[in-house]
Amino acid sequence: MVRFYCDVHRKKDDSGYRITYTTDGEEFRHVDYPVEIPAGRGDQIFVDVIPVVHTNAFIELLRRGVEVYYLRRLTMIKKTREKLGIRSKSAKTDIRVLMAIDSKWFRKVDEDYLVMRRMISSFRCVERTKQRLENQLRASSPAAQESLRRLVNHAEVEKEVLAELISEEAEKRYPVFKEISEELGITGDSHILAREALAELLTYVDFSKSFRSIRGYLGLYRERSNNKRYSRGVRGVLVRLTIAVIGRNRSRAIEQEEVLKRIWLMFRRETQRPADIPAQQQG
78 & 187 share domain: no
CATH code, domain carrying 19? 3.30.420
Q: Report pLDDT for 223.
A: 55
In a domain, 281, yes or no: no
Would residue 50 count as lying in a domain?
A: yes
Any domain includes 202? yes
CA distance 221 to 232: 14
Could you tell me the residue range of the domain that residue 174 belongs to?
A: 113-272
Among 109, 131, 149, identify where a domain stops: 109
Domain count for the chain, please give it.
2
Please check whether residues 98 and 122 belong to one and the same domain. Answer: no
Does residue 104 sit in the same domain as residue 117? no
Q: How far is CA 78 from CA 9, 85, 191, in A?
A: 16, 10, 41
- Report mean pLDDT in 10-residue bins for the chain, 283 residues: 94 90 95 96 96 96 97 90 87 93 94 97 96 93 91 96 97 95 94 97 94 91 56 91 94 95 93 55 35
Q: What is the distance between the alpha carbons of residues 205 and 228, in angstroms, rounded to a whole number?
A: 18
Same domain, 177 and 190: yes
pTM score, whole prediction: 0.88
